[in-house]
Amino acid sequence: MLNRIRQSIVYRIGTLMLLTVLVALSSMVASYIISDAAENDAAAVNLAGSLRAMSYRLSAIAPSGDLAATRDLADEVAQRLAKVLSISDFSASDNLRAARHYNKVMHSWEQEIRPLLESIAASHTAMDSQQLANRLEPFITDVDTLVFDYQTIAEEKINLLRLVQLGSLFATVVLVYLSLYILHRSVEQPLKLLTNRSLSIAQGNFHQPPLEIDSEDELGVLARTINNMSDEIHATHRDLAHRVELKTAQLQKSHEALDFQYRLARRISEGPLPGTELGQWLGEFANVAGLENLDLCLMTPEGEAPYEHLVEGLGNEYCSGSECRMCVNTCGPSEEGESRVYRFPLEVDKRNYGVLMCSLPRGDSLDEEPQQRLGTFADSVTAAIAINEREAQDRRVALLDERAIIARELHDSLAQSLSYLKIQVTRLNRANRRDQVDRVAVEEIIAELKEGLDASYRQLRELLTTFRLQVGPGGLRGILEQSILAYREQHPQISILLDYHLDEVPLTPHEEIHLLQLVREASQNAVYHSQGDRVEISLTQADNHALKVCIRDNGIGISNAPEKRNHFGMSIMQERASNLNGKLQIRRREEGGTEVQFHFVPHYARERELVWREAV
């Protein structure tokens, strides 16, 4: 019981409340019992007090000789004496003071007073009122004593009731005070401490002195729990703060690494990386990655030794710089003497361009993240070298294509003119060897030679103009307008019109070049060979995104044998059409002249159609 009171504040408060209730109930029960016992005391006092008055009345009636009245009044006195006994808290046999006085009064009444009164009323005994009153004086004194006894009993009950109520009040006050004291000490103060600590914890202050609540009740258990929780949260918070600092530092390093990779990728996209600049990037990567000893060996795919060896820090002390094929073909970590070396080959499409090495003291190792950064840097360097190689190859191919174009243009223009001039020179030699020189024939041949030279010079100028043309900011439309302007200056008698509707069509450089050359070839043939005075050039787009190019003239029209080699540059235009996967048509117009039509689907439209098919 005591353990439960000590260990449970609820049980403690419940016990105090139960004691308070018991005191209140006891007080009420005792008050009820005492009040119930004192219920007839006032009636008994009144009845006993009325006996004195009736005794005085009998002393006045009996000497008058009225026997009936005397008997009636005597019976009423007897009845009242019996009623006093019936409402008293004692019986006639009790040995109480009041019981003895009652028996004395009863005995005096029955044995002396009543017989005397009846005898005087019956005139058997002569006695006047004064004498009778003197005779009744002892009886009346006994009645007064009995009345006093009843009054004393009532007062004792009232005093007892007062004592019970005072005791109950005192016990209640003591219990209430004790309850308030226990609540203040065991509940209010601990709750105040717990509330303040909870507010501090809510504000994030976990590092505080422990709560000094040593009780074994619920609040003590709660205080110890909060102390342990606060210590654990503080330790966890400190650990999380440390981990956040570490993660922040890692994120900062990752941000620096990403920024480095972004700048490197942007630089790679801008153009080739020379060896000196690549060495600067290697040094910056070493600072960003926190690595000291790095080697970057660059090799040709066919070479056995690096043509460039870039070192950051001390590098690999066991690297001899020759016969690197074994080093290039080795991937991952390896133990070499007092060092641990990580190798990352610069390889793409089964072509190896060298190796990136990181040297550490023996026993040390790289985590996964530094290895990923090394691999990413190696891939970036590989991509830069591969892009440079592809760009060089593209330049070679473009140079060869350009030379092939020049050769084709020379063959289709100057070569034919020179062949024609050669034939004319042969004719001139034959005419000159004859015995009689035909001056008219010689002059005709010389005129034709002069005309052929003029034509060759004109063709040479046109070829130079063609080779100098570049697709500038104005795009295909701008270069076409420049070409037409040149034609108009050279041939003012010919009206050349351009109908261009491809402003919203994204063409690749490859498509622009071939489309430009095809339009120039067809318009050049129309200008020089059609013998007309009007050339119309139109570039439009059909509903299926295909491009339509049409060049019309109002000249003499194409010959009946258009398949003749190099006639109107057909072979050249056919080749360009095949490069664009298009269809070329050359026909004679019914109203006169020649029409060249070319249809092809540009690259962006083919990609869109492919994506649409895949979605379907």
CATH number at residue 349: 3.30.450.40
| pLDDT at 568 exceeding the cut of 50 | no
Query: By residue range, what is the domain housing residue 65?
Result: 2-192
Same domain, 75 and 183: yes
The chain-wide mean pLDDT, for the chain, equals 78
Compare 30 and 567 and report the one with higher pLDDT.
Answer: 30
User: Are residues 378 and 489 located together in one domain of the fold?
Assistant: no
* Same domain for 154 and 70: yes
What value does the mean pLDDT take over residues 506-530? 82
Entry pTM: 0.44
Tell me, yes or no, whether 232 lies in a domain. Answer: no
- In this structure, is residue 71 part of a structural domain? yes
Tell me which of 13-27, 271-285, 424-438 is least confident: 424-438
pLDDT, tens only, 99-111: 777 788 777 877 8
Residue 331 clears pLDDT 80, i.e. is over it: no
The residue out of 345, 362, 385 marking a domain boundary is 385
Sign of CA dihedral 302, 303, 304, 309: negative
pLDDT at 339: 82
What mean pLDDT is predicted for residues 44-71?
A: 76
| 380 and 283 within one domain | yes
pLDDT for the residue 564: 45
Q: What is the pLDDT of residue 566?
A: 41
The answer on 74 and 163 residing in a single domain is yes
* Angle formed by the axes of helices 129-183 and 41-61, nearest 10°: 170
Give how far Cα 398 sits from Cα of 387, 390, 402, 510, 517, Å.
Answer: 16, 12, 6, 11, 15
Domain assignment present for residue 609? The answer is yes
Q: Within this chain, do residues 45 and 182 fall inside the same structural domain, yes or no?
A: yes
Q: What does the alpha-carbon distance between residue 288 and residue 124 come to, in Å, rounded to a whole number?
A: 150
Among candidate residues 192, 208, 228, the one where a domain is terminated: 192
- Shared domain check, 186 and 45: yes
Mean pLDDT, rounded, for 550-562: 81
Task: Indicate if the pLDDT at residue 537 is higher than 90.
Answer: yes
Query: Which tens digits make up the pLDDT trace of 182-222?
Result: 777 777 777 888 888 788 878 777 777 777 777 777 777 77
294 contacts 358 by C-beta, under 8 angstroms: yes
**Nearest Cα residue to 9 out of 199, 17, 212:** 17
Residue 391 lies in a domain: no
* Residue 64 shares a structural domain with residue 164: yes
pLDDT digits (tens, 9 = 90+) for 227-241: 888 888 888 888 898
Query: Within this chain, do residues 175 and 277 fall inside the same structural domain, yes or no?
Result: no
> Does 484 share its domain with 346?
no
Q: Over 80: is that where the pLDDT of 578 sits? A: yes
Within-domain flag for 287:
yes
Are 25 and 163 members of one domain? yes
> Of 192, 225, 251, which residue sits at a domain end?
192
Residue at token pair 């004109």: 458
The percentage of the chain sitting over the pLDDT mark of 90, rounded to a whole number, equals: 4
Say how many C-beta atoms besides its own lie within 10 A of residue 606's C-beta: 13
Is 493 part of a structural domain of the chain?
A: yes
Q: List the single range of 233-247, 342-356, 542-556 with lowest mean pLDDT.
A: 342-356
Domain assignment present for residue 588? The answer is yes
Over residues 507-517, mean pLDDT:
80
Cβ burial 284-303 (10 Å sphere, 16+ → b, else e):
ebbebbebebbbbbbbeeee
**For residue 505, what is the domain's CATH number?**
3.30.565.10
Q: Are residues 150 and 16 in the same domain?
A: yes
Interval 383-426: pLDDT, tens: 888 887 777 777 777 677 767 767 766 666 667 677 777 887 88
Contact predicate 526/551, CB 8 Å: yes
- Average pLDDT of the segment spanning 161-180: 85
What pLDDT shows up at residue 558? 82
Q: Answer whether residue 454 shows pLDDT above 80.
A: no
| Domain count along the chain | 3
Lowest mean pLDDT segment, chosen from 117-121, 247-251, 464-468: 464-468
Residue 298 lies in a domain: yes
Closest CA to 552 of 538, 541, 568, 540: 538
- Judged against a pLDDT cut of 50, whether residue 90 lies above it is answered with yes
Does the structure show a pLDDT above 60 at 543? yes
Q: In the prediction, which pLDDT does 614 show?
A: 55
